[in-house]
Amino acid sequence: MTRPWDAGLQPERTELAWRRTVLAVTGGTALAGRYLGSGDPVVGLALPVLALLGGLALLHAGTVRFRRLDASLRAAGADAARPVMPGAVMLGALTVMCLGIGVASAVFVVARAVAAVG
């Protein structure tokens, strides 16, 4: 009997890879937020807290995604007519998080350069 997934725990490896990615982006975003808000104590605390909350939400979404995928694969069994793929909400949220910190960092660098020249 063939199965629609790898018997070598591929879904678990994928979940762990997503967790590492989310943790790395969350840590980088929290550090960047702290640096971006270094001039104002409220902003310096709010940005890292928002990054951590976003990271926790992404970790939760990843866990839910894994559980749904695992349940779908097990339910499909050997009779899987088509691949079972979860939605791309988590990937989209992670992309938005990365783009947000990238835009904020670019604005910060340009604002510092303009302030230094002027």
Q: What's the angle, vertex CA 101, arms to CA 112 and CA 118, rounded to 5?
A: 10
**Which range marks the domain in which residue 72 is found?**
10-117
Is the separation of the CB atoms in 101 and 32 below 8 Å? yes
* Within-domain flag for 3: no
Confidence (pLDDT) at 37? 78
Confidence (pLDDT) at 7? 59
* Within-domain flag for 5: no
Question: Cα separation of 47 and 76, whole Å?
Answer: 43
* Within-domain flag for 51: yes
Confidence (pLDDT) at 93? 79
* Within-domain flag for 67: yes
* Within-domain flag for 53: yes
Instruction: Tally the domains of the chain.
Output: 1
Confidence (pLDDT) at 89? 76
* Within-domain flag for 2: no
Q: pTM for the whole thing?
A: 0.66
Give the pLDDT means over successive 10-residue stretches in the chain (118 positions): 59 83 86 81 85 88 81 67 64 82 83 86
